[in-house]
């Protein structure tokens, strides 16, 4: 008979930090917390049985922070229900160019993420625990390698952790692409079903969670669901990391309670540094929203849904009035078109066609027919890829057509009011990792 | 039990035979890739749908149970 780890039997909750930050609690501005520092700050790691972990995660109401906002307990349950012993993957790919919250977690508090990974992996009696990190983020790779070595030396994890470097492509962090990469293939999405939770790494049921989700899971394991729900709203409890960029005084990664008023979030980023016309919410899969439509709203699904927006993976960018939203949209559309995995016709040809038109509009070389093409092609592209790249690109495009409707009319008359010609949104180019493995 | 078509967009190479054989259920987009009509296939058209499935050189079309 195997000995039961005594840590699996304890279910008393340790007191947690009263307010914010939680995941970023006690971090050092320019280096990672060591294992010893981490344990001093957060207390010993929690381990649990699968049933307990699923129940506690469900009571906490934890949702994924990788973009889709899926309930974590449901995923844990699905993987636990598989027959074979599963694999757990911490998704730290962070392919979204405007996002840096995963990198902040991995470089400042890697052990919190690894605690969450080990908690999930031991509860599910996993065969393997993997951390996937983009090769274009060498600091994160380095910090996690050091952290994994520290843990191996300390010897108190019941499972070993493997690091998998991921090529720097937007779609490489999509879950089926990650599975394909780990299984020895290209980091390109595969046709689903089967979904990774049914058949993933090595054919095993595979749990894939964003690294921030695992950090919150590690805290729930220590402090319990009530503590988790003590901030945020009833429907959306807890906190989230934001990568706030653009025209604010302190562009940075910080943690907010879900449901916070939008104005307070802008204030936390130092306030607007110049007049702002719109905000990008949720990154390059996200939505442009006019500033006046966001004011007075809270960071909740209910408040954002009428705008067609959601927090996604936590990216917010303030677009200055002086920068042309159509030019920024064209730059992103071209990037997304180039980031196709080249597998699905509507994605390859559709995104290229759309990108052409948006480029023409941005350069004020436009006709009303071009605007109609965009509507028709958007409908034609949607839901027709193996992965959600085309859908994300279409959501982004449609939001631009609404938010920048006045600007489109101006451009149709050959005029553009923007004065800055410096590009705003980050687009990876220099030293870009073009490979797929 | 009714059936519907499922397309694997990764395998599909825009041969277009499917749309020729089963125009009632399949049209082509601006780039020659098939757009499937949503929902179950009416019984009297199933034979055409089957023919489209067998004719696809890329093996990208499948008939699946409509759940
Ligand atoms: C094109 C594409 C790219 C994605 N890239 C990432 C990524 O870089 N990091 C990530 O955590 N999730 C990414 N996702 C979402 C993952 O597929 C998956 O839903 C997520 O890792 C699950 O974790 P969560 O439930 O904790 O959010 C991407 C999805 C798509 C469609
Ligand atoms: S939709 Fe595009 S990115 Fe996604 S699998 Fe197909 S070709 Fe690749």
| pLDDT tens digit at each of 437 positions of chain A | 445 566 665 568 998 888 999 999 999 999 999 999 999 999 998 899 999 999 999 999 999 999 999 999 999 999 999 999 999 999 999 999 999 999 999 999 999 999 999 999 999 999 999 999 999 999 999 999 999 999 999 998 999 999 999 999 999 999 999 999 999 999 999 987 899 999 999 999 999 999 999 999 999 999 999 999 999 999 999 999 999 999 999 999 999 999 999 999 999 999 999 999 999 999 999 999 999 999 999 999 999 999 999 999 999 999 999 999 999 999 999 999 999 999 999 999 999 999 999 999 999 988 888 889 999 999 999 999 999 999 999 999 999 999 999 999 999 999 998 988 789 999 987 557 678 99
Residues of chain A with CATH 3.10.20.600: 239-296+314-320
Give the predicted TM-score (pTM) of the model.
0.95
**Is any Cβ of chain A less than 8 angstroms from the Cβ of B20?**
no
Range 195-214 of A in CB contact (< 8 A) with B: none
Is the ipTM here above 0.90? yes
Classify domain A6-228 at the CATH class level: alpha beta
Closest-CA residue to A285 (of A67, A125, A113, A87):
A67
- Would you tell me which CATH number, out of the four given (3.40.50.2300, 3.30.1330.40, 3.10.20.600, 2.60.40.10), belongs to the domain A239-296+314-320? 3.10.20.600
User: Looking at residue A33, what DSSP letter applies?
Assistant: P
How large is the greatest C-alpha to C-alpha distance in chain A, in angstroms?
79
Nearest Cα to Cα of residue A31 among A144, A143, A151, A161:
A143
Backbone angles phi and psi of A353, in degrees to 5: -65, -45
- Picking from A343, A347, A380, the nearest residue to B30 by CB comes out as A380
The residue among A127, A133, A197, A182 whose CA lies nearest residue A158 is: A127
Q: Where in chain A are all domains bearing CATH 1.20.1440.230?
A: 325-412
CATH of the domain at B21: 3.30.70.20
Q: Has residue B67 been placed in a domain?
A: no
Domain of residue B8 covers 3-59
| Residue ranges of chain A assigned to CATH 3.40.50.11540 | 6-228
**Ligand 1: distance of its center to the CA of A313 in Å?**
9
Q: Report yes or no: A341 and A390 within 8 Å, Cβ to Cβ.
A: no
DSSP state of A18: S
Query: Residue B11: inside a domain, yes or no?
Result: yes
Q: Counting ligands in written order, which one lies closest to the CA of residue A94?
A: 1
Q: Is residue B50 part of a domain?
A: yes
Tally of structural domains, chain B: 1
Partner-chain contact A191 B12, CB within 8 Å: no
- B59 near A CB under 8 A: no
Chain A residue closest to B29 (CA)?
Answer: A380
In a domain, B14, yes or no: yes
Residue B66 counted as domain residue:
no
For residue B64, tell me if it sits in a domain.
no
Domain annotation covers residue B45: yes
Candidate of A78, A91, A286 to mutate for ligand 1, largest count of ligand atoms within 8 Å of Cβ: A91
For domain A325-412, the CATH class is mainly alpha
């Amino acid at each position: 008979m195997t000995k039961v780890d005594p840590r699996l039997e304890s279910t008393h909750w340790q007191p947690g930090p009263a307010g914010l930050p939680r995941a970023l609690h006690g971090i050092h501005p320019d280096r990672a917390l060591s294992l010893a520092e981490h344990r001093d700050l957060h207390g010993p790691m929690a381990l649990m049985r699968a049933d307990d972990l699923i129940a506690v995660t469900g009571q906490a109401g934890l949702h994924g922070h990788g973009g889709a906002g899926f309930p974590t307990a449901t995923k844990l349950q699905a993987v636990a229900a598989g027959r074979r012993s599963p694999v757990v993957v911490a998704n730290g790919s962070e392919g979204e160019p405007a996002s840096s919250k995963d990198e902040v977690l991995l470089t400042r508090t890697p052990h919190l993420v690894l605690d969450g990974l080990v908690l999930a992996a031991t509860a599910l009696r996993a065969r393997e625990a993997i951390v996937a990190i983009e090769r274009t983020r060498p600091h994160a790779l380095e910090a996690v390698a050091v952290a994994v070595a520290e843990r191996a030396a300390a010897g108190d994890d019941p499972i070993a952790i493997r690091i998998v470097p991921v090529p720097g492509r937007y779609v490489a962090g999509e879950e089926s692409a990650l599975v394909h990469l780990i299984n020895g293939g290209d980091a390109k999405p595969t046709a689903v079903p089967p979904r990774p939770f049914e058949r993933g790494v090595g054919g095993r049921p595979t749990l894939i969670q964003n690294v921030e989700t695992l950090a919150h899971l590690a805290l729930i394991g220590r402090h319990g669901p009530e503590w988790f729900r003590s901030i945020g709203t009833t429907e959306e409890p807890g906190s989230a990391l934001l990568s706030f960029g653009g025209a604010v005084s302190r562009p940075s990664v910080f943690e907010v309670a879900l449901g916070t008023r939008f104005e307070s979030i802008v204030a936390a980023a130092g306030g607007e540094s110049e007049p702002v016309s719109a905000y990008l919410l949720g990154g390059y899969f996200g939505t442009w929203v006019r500033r006046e439509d966001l004011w007075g709203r809270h960071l909740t699904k209910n408040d954002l849904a009428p705008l067609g927006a959601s927090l996604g993976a936590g990216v917010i960018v303030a677009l200055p009035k002086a920068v042309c939203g159509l030019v920024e949209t064209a730059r992103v559309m071209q990037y997304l078109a180039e980031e196709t995995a080249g597998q699905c016709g509507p994605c390859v040809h559709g995104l290229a066609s759309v990108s052409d038109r948006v480029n023409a509009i941005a350069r004020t070389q436009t006709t009303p027919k071009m605007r109609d093409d965009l509507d028709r092609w958007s409908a034609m592209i949607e839901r027709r890829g193996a992965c959600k790249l085309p859908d994300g690109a279409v959501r982004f495009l449609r939001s631009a057509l609404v938010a920048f409707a006045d600007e489109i009319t101006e451009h149709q008359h050959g005029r553009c009011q923007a004065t800055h010609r410096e590009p705003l949104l980050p687009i990876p180019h220099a030293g870009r990792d073009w490979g797929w493995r | 039990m009714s059936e519907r078509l499922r397309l694997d967009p990764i395998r599909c190479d825009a041969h277009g035979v499917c749309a020729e054989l089963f125009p009632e259920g399949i049209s082509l987009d601006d780039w020659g890739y098939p757009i499937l009509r949503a929902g179950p296939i009416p019984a009297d058209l199933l034979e055409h749908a089957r023919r489209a499935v067998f004719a696809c050189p890329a093996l990208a079309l499948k008939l699946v149970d409509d759940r």
